[in-house]
Amino acid sequence: MASPRKTLLLVYHSWTGATEQMIRAVARGAATEPEVDVRLLRAPEAGPDDLLGADGYVFATPENLAAIAGLMKDFFDRSYYGALERINGRPYAALICAGSDGTNAARQLARIATGWRLREIAEPLIICTHAQTTEAILAPKTVPAEALAKGEELGAAFATGLAMGAF
């Protein structure tokens, strides 16, 4: 008997393009697994029903002012109680695009995931753009191919793990 298809939900916010390029790379990698459906949603479009309908998650955000982006925070605020105690044990990964280090946004995502009792399946993927001036921070970004490859690897590994029942 074939196992039921799995769904990997990718929720993101992107302001200058780096996070969107990275989450699309994750989606490309995940799409190589034929037994996994990939759902890519912008944070304002996602909610608790989307979480409940998925088997695993990748949360992707820029780090703004040493924190997750406001629209990602809004997604978590709107979804937290609707999913609480209903998604325990499901796997997740975090992706952060940051101008410097991204670690505080990664800590925030980990705290939220801990509240939901999610299982982290990979260290946070932090892509540093090195944007440190106002002009560089506000400028549209182009993510290097080697960083995009890391996103594709994350997506492929996550989807394979879901399909195999490892997560």
Print the SS3 string covering 75-143: HHHHHHHHHCCCCCCCEEEEEEEECCCCHHHHHHHHHHHHHHCCEECCCCEEEECCCCCHHHHHCCCCC
| Three-state DSSP state, 5 | coil
Rounded Cα gap, residues 29 and 163, in angstroms: 14
Question: Which tokens go with 38?
Answer: 């990939």
| The dihedral sign for the CA sequence 85, 90, 96, 101 | positive
Residue 29 identity: G
The pTM (predicted TM-score) of the whole model is 0.96
Phi, psi dihedrals of residue 142, rounded to the nearest 5°: -125, 115
Mean pLDDT of 3-28: 96
pLDDT of residue 1: 45
Angle 118-20-17 from CA coordinates, rounded to 5°: 140
pLDDT of residue 3: 65
Round the average pLDDT of the chain to a whole number and report it.
96
Mean pLDDT of 20-41: 98
pLDDT, tens digit, 9 for 90 and up, residues 117-140: 999 999 999 999 999 889 988 898
pLDDT of residue 4: 85
Q: Which domains occur in the chain, in start order?
A: 6-164 (3.40.50.360)
